[in-house]
């Protein structure tokens, strides 16, 4: 299947590098592939027949006729390779299969793809059985080891193969490289993806060399996989990766993997310790709070700073409040033999690795200003292509938080804004700049699971300030920003005979991958070897994304008055004393008055053409740029926030809101006019037009004055004494503005409960965005050969938030698994026949009473995976969908698993999630093959605040994160409408033809 909207994304990022000596590389000659081995295989009668079979097809032959001969050839090659290379019998072998009619299941990332060929590890006996196989099978992504794509002829596009290899690298974090192949008519190319997408030269399909290189590469990938990470395919309730190091053994549940190639960050939630059995881990998954966070990523080998080193520095004197705590870190280094376990890399902060020095010494003078690059270990002897050296870095964090979309009220969101700004200011004082303070790295509702001998430090967080100012706290936020009796720091302090601060930030800053030492960053020599622009597209400072895009001529006369307004508040003096115990704001207002006066004078001189325009700033990341990133994150959150109750209707005219959302979501670094469009919101002209919810109109005024402060050309006022002493002056300005609003007692809208299930939506956004895939397209387990989908949703009864899951019916461990027989026999579930379906529905109508929503149990309906034609599938769906509405009301196993579907708790009919018009769908086919089987409980559920909001279980957190990414950001990437895409492709084709 060709999903254009998906392949469009990856094709742009993976430009193939064709290497003449690709087939002579180490993976491709693994297992002593030499001339003697090639001769033995070439003389095999089965191989001869196979090569002739794959080459006999013509353009008139359908593509699916070519699958069986191809996998028979590959399986025969794999079997001979296994024998000739003298592999031990107990080792697993590479088996090839195909699944041309259905998507590969097990996609917890929400992607639905259909590779033509799949490779996986199995026993030698299964490999021998597969040699004569003519039917394919379905396998979950996490057990695959290779993919392939087949075209009849004349199609030289590689978008599908790029997508499949990129996705498989995301699902297999234990593999250093992903290998695949591409057949186009009577030609074949072998591909490999590690830090770059490499391809062999085009070879005739009936030659042995490329096929043997593919088989050898896959065995190399299997033998050199990263041993500490292991996918546990026996866990049936969720995707489980086991992590094992010398002093770390945990079970994790992944919820996100970054794009490949690149850092490909593998992010997973850690299950609570205390049980190694499947039942114990299942219980922990659904009922126990998450114990931590695990991350594995591919970082630059020449990076001056690592996340683990910076966290050690941050927490040197004690746990810095508001920052994630680390439990275990490890950084691998290059080794000559990838099969060996790499030792832990030990480098001092700011030190350059020996390998990086060798690379720098070998580079030509004109290349010294570019980012440090070198050949990878895998291809150093085979090619001269230069790529960035990447090494694996793993980190286990003992801190858990939730997305900003879980803010209870607008006041809660502003509290979080304040604590993020204060934490960022404290990091700057420690000499560290984050450089990626995005929505995804700023969490709320923090909880720590590691304390040790360190004690948490005290900081002037917002809750401490409000207590000092004697501000009354709304009961909905009473527990926010205060340590609870179950807090691990309280238990640790009690064990030491010590006390701990009662207050703590209500936020958590995470992901220090892009962070840096401020002094070293400012050094010219250091700048030569780092990326000058870092951050997340939507939230990076405009001066960094596109210098010169900010309009510096905004009127700022009101700034000194507004910034000093908190001083006139009756509670302002006490609040400021608590907020700035070191008197950091002394002289701040005077500095602002001087700068504003100079700005007024400069604008007059500019109008008279007496002075030149403001020079374009350099791209050196300053602390004020981190403050601007926080501004964008909270402007986005506040604009999309909507009250939960229906008594505050939204505006009928939301054109300004739609324009704001489209501008933010389409922004890219190097975005040209798109960046200039985002910078428009740093001026009064944009922020005086209402695009917030009408009930939060006055909150938008807060961001207006923040934008006025940010639009001052601060790079020409760096000589100011206060700025030199306080480079975090933007943080001081934000804190004063936030306190000025939070101390007001005439803003009841700040305490209106927010809708945490979905943000404000707008018609037409799906025309520009590809929204994330709902959970009905995610496999619940991913470990079975049956993709699970869901039927239409049932009505959800509104009820108060649960304090825990004790009363929820989520236990299914004692119930019969209706899919067990098909999994054990490795067979496909047959489609439901027409007669049986009608008979079943007649029985339901005559004998089953209607079930009320309150008593409806939730169970999933499996989708058939039989290898049948698309027409047969469509006919079967039409047969089973007859009278679906009536049958739905009577079925006790009605299910909705769409955790990211926008739906109010009391909504009788949920609206479908926005999906681009060219996005394919998976339809549900009820599984009625085992009518006597017990109902299968759906414990995954969609995100519903009434059930999941108070919980930090692994299951609840992943649902919140999926909901957050889907409804707040979609894919976060610009996807042109189909017609625009066709026009762009036509222009590219015309350009190539004219160039030729």
What is the pLDDT at residue 313?
Answer: 93
Between these two residues, 62 and 975, which has the higher pLDDT value?
A: 62
Q: Is residue 971 scored above 60 in pLDDT?
A: no
- What percent of the chain has a predicted confidence (pLDDT) above 70? 68
Query: pLDDT for 194-223, tens place per residue?
Result: 888 899 999 999 999 999 999 999 999 999
Q: Which two tokens stand for residue 507?
A: 């936020």
E runs forming strands in 861-905: 861-862
Residue 983: which pLDDT band, with cuts at 50, 70 and 90?
low
Q: Is residue 713 scored above 90 in pLDDT?
A: yes
Q: Is the distance from CB of 427 to CB of 441 less than 8 angstroms?
A: no
Distance CA 48, CA 44 (A): 6
Q: Is residue 78 scored above 90 in pLDDT?
A: yes
Distance CA 293, CA 397 (A): 5
What is the pLDDT at residue 764?
Answer: 64
Q: Which residue has the tokens 């196979």?
A: 50
User: Which of 61-65, 269-273, 877-881, 979-983 has maximum average pLDDT?
Assistant: 269-273
Q: Which two tokens stand for residue 35?
A: 């001339």
Closest CA to 435 of 571, 539, 352: 539
- What is the distance of C-alpha 804 from the center of its chain? 27
What is the pLDDT at residue 112?
Answer: 66
Q: Is the distance from CB of 253 to CB of 269 less than 8 angstroms?
A: yes
Q: Is residue 637 scored above 90 in pLDDT?
A: yes
What is the pLDDT at residue 663?
Answer: 87
Distance CA 590, CA 900 (A): 49
Evaluate whether the domain defined by 17-226 bears CATH number 1.20.1530.
no
What is the pLDDT at residue 5?
Answer: 35
Q: Within 13 Å and on the Cβ side, how many CA atoms surround 402?
A: 25
Q: What distance separates the 2 farthest-apart alpha carbons in the chain?
A: 93
Please compute the mean of the pLDDT values over residues 586-602 and round it to a whole number.
95
Residue 421: which pLDDT band, with cuts at 50, 70 and 90?
very high
E runs forming strands in 17-106: 17-18, 93-98
Q: Is 519 exposed, middle or buried (0-12, 13-18, 19+ CB in 10 A)?
A: exposed
Q: What's the mean per-residue pLDDT of the chain? A: 75
Between these two residues, 357 and 39, which has the higher pLDDT value?
A: 39
What is the pLDDT at residue 362?
Answer: 38
Distance CA 632, CA 331 (A): 32
Q: Is residue 374 scored above 60 in pLDDT?
A: no
Q: Is residue 354 scored above 70 in pLDDT?
A: no
Q: Dihedral through CA 108, CA 111, CA 116, CA 122, nearest 10?
A: -10
Query: pLDDT for 309-321, tens place per residue?
Result: 999 999 999 999 9
Q: Is residue 95 scored above 60 in pLDDT?
A: yes
Closest CA to 233 of 169, 142, 147: 142
Query: pLDDT for 818-862, tens place per residue?
Result: 333 333 343 433 333 334 444 444 444 444 343 333 333 322 223
Q: Three-class SS string for 287-326?
A: HCECCEEEEEEEEECCCCCCHHHHHHHHCCCCECCCECCE
Closest CA to 23 of 163, 181, 185: 181
Q: Is residue 800 scored above 60 in pLDDT?
A: no
Q: Three-class SS string for 110-137?
A: CCCCCCCEEEEEECHHHHHHHCCCCCCC
What is the pLDDT at residue 589?
Answer: 96
Closest CA to 424 of 732, 882, 38, 886: 732
What is the pLDDT at residue 14?
Answer: 74
Cα of first residue to Cα of last residue in the chain, in angstroms, is 31
Between these two residues, 644 and 132, which has the higher pLDDT value?
A: 644
Where are the domains positioned within the chain?
17-226, 240-334+389-509
Distance CA 294, CA 254 (A): 9
Query: pLDDT for 457-496, tens place per residue?
Result: 999 999 999 999 999 998 889 999 999 888 899 888 888 8
Helices 410-429 and 729-742, axial angle in degrees (round to 10) = 160
Q: Which two tokens stand for residue 242?
A: 């086991």
Closest CA to 1 of 147, 101, 110: 101
Distance CA 958, CA 400 (A): 12
Query: pLDDT for 560-585, tens place per residue?
Result: 999 999 999 999 999 999 999 988 88
Distance CA 855, CA 809 (A): 11
Distance CA 314, CA 295 (A): 19
Q: Three-class SS string for 344-404?
A: ECCCCCCCCCHHHHHHHHHCCHHHCCCCCCECCCCCCCCCCCCECCEEEEEEEECEEEECH
Between these two residues, 667 and 419, which has the higher pLDDT value?
A: 419
Residue 702: which pLDDT band, with cuts at 50, 70 and 90?
very high
How many Cβ atoms from other residues are within 10 Å of residue 768's Cβ? 18
Q: Which residue has the tokens 């461990």?
A: 813
Q: Which two tokens stand for residue 309?
A: 């080193």
What is the pLDDT at residue 803?
Answer: 35
Please compute the mean of the pLDDT values over residues 864-877 and round it to a whole number.
32
Q: Which H helix or E strand runs over 638? A: helix 623-640
What is the pLDDT at residue 964?
Answer: 84
Query: pLDDT for 922-941, tens place per residue?
Result: 233 333 334 443 333 345 45
SS3 940: coil
Q: Is residue 869 scored above 80 in pLDDT?
A: no
What is the pLDDT at residue 699?
Answer: 96
Query: pLDDT for 487-534, tens place per residue?
Result: 899 888 888 888 888 999 999 999 998 898 888 887 754 555 555 678
Q: Which residue has the tokens 């690379």?
A: 359
What is the pLDDT at residue 230?
Answer: 93
Please compute the mean of the pLDDT values over residues 785-790 and round it to a whole number.
28
SS3 50: helix
* Bridge partner list, 254: 268
Distance CA 263, CA 256 (A): 13
Tell me the residue length of the chain.
996
Distance CA 175, CA 158 (A): 22
Peptide bond into 695 cis (omega under 30): no
Q: Is the distance from CB of 599 to CB of 631 less than 8 angstroms?
A: no
Backbone Cα Rg of the chain: 30
What is the pLDDT at residue 746?
Answer: 93
Q: Which H helix or E strand runs over 432? A: strand 432-433
Residue 33: which pLDDT band, with cuts at 50, 70 and 90?
confident
Q: How far is CA 157 from CA 163, 184, 260, 489, 985, in A?
A: 12, 9, 19, 57, 12
Q: Which H helix or E strand runs over 187? A: strand 187-193
- What percent of the chain has a predicted confidence (pLDDT) above 90? 40
* Phi–psi pair at 199, nearest 5 degrees: -140, 150
Q: Three-class SS string for 227-243?
A: CCEEECCCCCCCCCEEE
* Phi–psi pair at 484, nearest 5 degrees: -95, 160
Q: Is residue 797 scored above 90 in pLDDT?
A: no
Residue 945: which pLDDT band, with cuts at 50, 70 and 90?
confident
Distance CA 165, CA 117 (A): 12
Positive/negative CA dihedral, 520, 522, 525, 527:
positive
Q: Is residue 723 scored above 90 in pLDDT?
A: yes
Q: Is residue 810 scored above 60 in pLDDT?
A: no
């Amino acid at each position: 299947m060709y999903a254009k909207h998906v392949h469009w994304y990856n094709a742009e990022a993976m430009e193939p590098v064709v290497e003449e000596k690709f087939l002579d590389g180490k993976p491709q000659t693994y297992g002593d592939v030499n001339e003697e081995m090639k001769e033995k295989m070439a003389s095999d009668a089965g191989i001869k027949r196979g090569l002739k079979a794959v080459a006999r097809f013509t353009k008139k032959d359908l593509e699916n006729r070519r699958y069986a001969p191809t996998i028979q050839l590959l399986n025969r090659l794999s079997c001979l390779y296994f024998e000739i290379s003298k592999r031990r019998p107990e080792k697993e072998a590479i088996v090839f299969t195909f699944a041309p009619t259905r998507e590969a299941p097990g996609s917890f990332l929400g992607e639905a793809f259909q590779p033509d060929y799949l490779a996986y590890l199995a026993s030698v006996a299964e490999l021998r059985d597969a040699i004569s196989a003519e039917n394919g099978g379905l396998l979950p992504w996490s057990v695959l080891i290779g993919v392939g794509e087949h075209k009849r002829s004349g199609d030289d596009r590689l978008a599908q193969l790029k997508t499949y290899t990129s996705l498989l690298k995301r699902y297999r974090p234990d593999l250093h490289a992903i290998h695949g192949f591409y057949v186009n008519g009577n030609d074949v190319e072998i591909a490999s993806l590690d830090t770059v997408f490499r391809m062999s030269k085009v070879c005739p399909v009936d030659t042995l060399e490329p096929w043997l290189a593919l088989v050898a590469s896959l065995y190399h990938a299997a033998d050199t996989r990263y041993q500490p990470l292991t996918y546990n395919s026996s866990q049936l309730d969720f995707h489980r990766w086991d992590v094992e190091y010398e002093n770390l053994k945990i079970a994790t549940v992944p919820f996100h993997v970054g794009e490949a190639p690149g850092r490909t960050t593998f992010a997973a939630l850690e299950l609570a310790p205390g049980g190694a059995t499947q039942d114990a881990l299942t219980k922990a998954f659904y009922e126990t709070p998450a114990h931590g966070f695990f991350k594995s990523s591919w970082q630059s080998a020449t990076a001056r700073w690592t996340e683990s080193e910076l966290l050690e520095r941050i927490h040197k004197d004690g746990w810095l409040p508001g920052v994630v705590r680390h439990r275990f870190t490890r950084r691998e280094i290059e080794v000559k033999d990838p099969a060996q376990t790499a030792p832990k890399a030990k480098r001092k902060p700011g030190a350059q690795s020996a390998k990086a020095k060798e690379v720098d010494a070998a580079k030509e003078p004109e290349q010294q200003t570019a980012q440090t690059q070198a050949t990878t270990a895998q291809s150093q002897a085979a090619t001269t292509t230069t790529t960035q050296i990447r090494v694996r870095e793993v980190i286990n964090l003992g801190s858990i938080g939730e997305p900003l979309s879980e803010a209870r009220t607008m006041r809660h969101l502003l509290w979080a804004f304040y604590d993020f700004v204060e934490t960022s200011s404290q990091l700057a004082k420690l000499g560290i700049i984050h450089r990626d303070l995005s929505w995804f790295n700023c969490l709320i509702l923090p909880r720590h699971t590691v304390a040790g001998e360190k004690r948490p430090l005290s900081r002037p967080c917002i809750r401490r300030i409000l207590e000092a100012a004697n501000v009354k706290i709304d009961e909905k936020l009473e527990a926010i920003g205060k340590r609870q009796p179950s807090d691990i720091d309280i238990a640790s302090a009690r064990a030491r005979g010590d006390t701990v601060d009662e207050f703590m930030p209500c936020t958590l800053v995470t992901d220090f991958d892009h962070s840096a030492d401020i002094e070293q960053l400012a050094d010219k020599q250091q700048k030569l070897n780092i990326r000058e622009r870092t951050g997340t597209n939507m939230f990076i400072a405009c001066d960094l994304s596109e210098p010169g895009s900010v309009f510096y001529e905004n009127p700022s006369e009101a700034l000194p008055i507004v910034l000093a307004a908190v001083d006139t508040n009756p509670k302002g003096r006490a609040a400021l004393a608590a907020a700035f115990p070191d008197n950091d704001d002394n002289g701040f207002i005077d500095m602002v008055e001087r700068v504003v006066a100079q700005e007024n004078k400069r604008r007059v001189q500019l109008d008279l053409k007496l002075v030149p325009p403001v020079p374009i700033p350099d791209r050196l990341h300053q602390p004020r740029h981190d403050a601007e990133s926080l501004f964008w994150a909270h402007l986005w959150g506040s604009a999309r926030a909507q009250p939960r109750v229906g008594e505050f209707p939204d505006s009928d005219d939301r054109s300004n809101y739609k324009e704001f959302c489209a501008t933010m979501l389409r922004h890219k670094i190097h975005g040209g006019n798109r960046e200039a469009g985002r910078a428009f919101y740093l001026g009064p002209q944009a922020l005086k037009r209402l695009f917030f919810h009408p009930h939060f109109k006055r909150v938008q005024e807060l961001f207006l004055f923040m934008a006025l402060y940010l639009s001052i050309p601060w790079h020409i006022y760096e000589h100011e004494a206060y700025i030199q002493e306080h480079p975090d002056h933007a943080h001081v300005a934000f804190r004063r503005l936030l306190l000025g609003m939070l101390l007001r007692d005439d803003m009841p809208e700040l305490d209106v409960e927010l809708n945490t299930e979905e943000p404000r939506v707008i018609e037409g956004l799906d025309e520009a965005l590809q929204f994330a895939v709902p959970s009905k397209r995610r496999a619940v387990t991913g470990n079975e050969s049956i993709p699970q989908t869901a039927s239409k949703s049932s009505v959800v009864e509104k009820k108060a938030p649960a304090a825990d899951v004790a009363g929820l019916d989520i236990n299914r461990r004692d119930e019969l698994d209706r899919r067990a027989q098909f999994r054990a026999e490795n067979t496909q579930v047959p489609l439901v026949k027409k007669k049986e379906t009608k008979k079943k529905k007649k029985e339901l109508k005559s004998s089953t009473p209607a079930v009320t929503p309150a008593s409806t149990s939730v169970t999933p309906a499996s989708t058939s995976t039989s290898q049948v034609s698309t027409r047969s599938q469509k006919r079967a769906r039409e047969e089973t969908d007859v009278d679906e509405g009536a049958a739905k009301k009577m079925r006790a196993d009605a299910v909705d698993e769409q955790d990211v579907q926008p739906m109010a708790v009391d909504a009788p009919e949920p609206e479908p999630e926005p999906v681009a018009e060219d996005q394919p769908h998976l339809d549900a086919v009820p599984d009625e093959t085992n009518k006597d089987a017990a109902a299968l409980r759906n414990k995954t559920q969609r995100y519903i605040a009434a059930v999941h909001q108070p919980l930090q279980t692994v299951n609840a957190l992943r649902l919140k994160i999926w909901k957050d990414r889907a409804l707040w950001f979609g894919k976060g990437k610009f996807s042109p409408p189909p017609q625009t895409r066709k026009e762009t492709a036509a222009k590219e084709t015309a350009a190539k033809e004219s160039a030729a």
